[in-house]
């Protein structure tokens, strides 16, 4: 979800990159965003998620494990940022999402019963919801892998943006554009290993490279400020409320260009919004964030990782061990080379 800015992002503000370009950089990842992607995508052909012998879903653990080892191999340091309490304004959005999920879940069961496998898979993905235990097990795994995480007081994206703005991490990462509104200087999108993404409700794939969106370039190209982008978002609609009917990014852009603020634009077109506009501004411009945190990356605890994945959740020990060995050998090779470099200097 998030604010729909896709259509007006100027290409010059976006830099497509290779994963290796992010080497030695630190990135704050929107934890819910990524768990949701894993949960909806890592599924069998009929839509069933991976699960252990006790029936607990493990798709997200597979995703977190393999993606994390790959980041470590590349020298990319990530910190997971999870949502805390949703802002009051978001309650209605959350209620609607639950409703949609319920509908998708019914469709999933119907399709499954009718034996329409592809159809079933589509609805299964839409019916995914992140349960509390999934976040808890993901956090256990992160701890074992030496990857830091933060539970934000409110919105994870706001927290990640704050950390990037303060320079504690190089960038924040999410599929949503909300981070820009929250003030991130750099937003990494499509942060996955293989450059392909499944098209929604279709069995097709498109090539998608990781990209870095530079906020300052975006503001400069559009000739607006972050504050004005927030005004645009108010007209377009956000996760917190629906915007004005018939106004998308392009109209919002010209309206804010002309009138400068959402309320003035609304007056001009004789429309109104059933929302406290001032509260929305505060939500984006002065979000509630945690300011005291420590980011510490440690070595992988192999035993703990094996215990969680294999003993607790029935992952194949051979498969996990193979990956851990690869991480170890790549890291030791890196250390060998860098110490040699240092010696040569």
Catalog residues that contact DNA under the rule CB under 7 A.
Answer: 37-38, 41-45, 48-52, 58, 62-63, 66-67, 69-70, 192-194, 196-198, 313-316, 319-320, 322-323
Print the SS3 string covering 50-79.
Answer: CECCCCCECHHHHHHHHHHHHHHHHCCEEE
Residue 21: other Cβ atoms inside 10 A: 13
Least distance in angstroms from the C-beta of 129 to DNA: 17
**Sign of the C-alpha dihedral computed for residues 122, 16, 183 and 145 taken in this order:** positive
- Using the minimum distance from each CB to DNA, give the nearer residue, 40 or 215: 40
C-beta of 60 vs 90, nearer to DNA: 60
Rounded to the nearest whole angstrom, what is the least distance from the CB of residue 103 to DNA in the complex?
23
Nearer to DNA, 96 or 196 (CB): 196
Residue with smaller CB distance to DNA, 147 or 265: 147
The rounded distance, in Å, linking the Cα atoms of 182 and 155 is 10
Please report which helix (H) or strand (E) contains residue 111, including its range.
helix 91-114
Q: What's the chain's Rg over C-alpha atoms? A: 22
Closest separation in Å from C-beta 244 to DNA: 32
| Distance of closest approach, residue 152 Cβ to DNA, in angstroms | 23
Closest Cα to residue 78, out of 88, 86, 87, 68?
68
CB atoms < 10 A from the CB of 266, how many? Answer: 19
Q: Considering beta carbons, is residue 37 or 159 the nearer one to DNA?
A: 37
Question: Least CB distance from residue 41 to DNA, whole Å?
Answer: 4
């Amino acid at each position: 979800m998030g604010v729909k800015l896709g259509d007006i992002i100027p290409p010059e503000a976006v830099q497509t990159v290779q994963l290796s370009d992010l080497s030695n950089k630190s990135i704050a990842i929107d934890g819910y965003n990524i768990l949701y992607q894993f949960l909806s995508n890592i599924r069998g052909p009929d839509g069933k998620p991976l699960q252990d012998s006790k029936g607990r879903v493990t798709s997200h653990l597979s995703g977190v494990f393999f993606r994390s080892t790959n980041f470590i191999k590349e020298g990319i340091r990530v910190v997971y940022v999870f949502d805390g309490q949703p802002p009051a304004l978001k309650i209605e959005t959350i209620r609607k999402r639950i409703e949609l999920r319920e509908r998708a879940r019914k469709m999933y069961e119907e399709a499954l019963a009718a034996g329409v496998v592809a159809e079933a898979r589509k609805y299964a993905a839409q019916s995914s919801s992140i349960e509390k235990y999934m976040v808890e097990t993901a956090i256990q795994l992160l701890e074992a892998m030496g990857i830091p995480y933060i539970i934000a007081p409110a919105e994870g994206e706001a927290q990640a943006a704050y950390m990037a703005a303060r320079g504690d991490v190089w960038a924040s990462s999410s599929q949503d554009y909300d981070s820009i509104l929250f003030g991130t200087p750099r937003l990494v999108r499509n942060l996955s290993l293989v450059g392909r993404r499944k098209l929604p409700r279709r069995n097709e794939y498109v090539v998608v490279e990781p990209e870095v969106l530079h906020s300052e370039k975006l503001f400069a190209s559009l000739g607006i400020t972050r504050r004005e982008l927030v005004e645009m978002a108010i007209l377009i609609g956000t996760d917190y409320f629906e915007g004005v009917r018939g106004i998308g990014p392009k109209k919002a852009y010209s309206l804010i260009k002309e009138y400068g603020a959402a309320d003035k634009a609304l007056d001009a077109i004789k429309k109104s919004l059933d929302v406290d506009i001032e509260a929305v501004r505060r939500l984006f411009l002065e979000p509630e964030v945690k300011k005291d945190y420590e980011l510490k990356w440690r070595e992988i605890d192999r035993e703990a990782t094996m215990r969680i994945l294999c003993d607790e959740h029935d992952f194949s020990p051979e498969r996990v061990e193979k990956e851990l060995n690869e991480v170890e050998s790549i890291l030791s090779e890196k250390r060998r080379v860098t110490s040699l470099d240092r010696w040569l200097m």
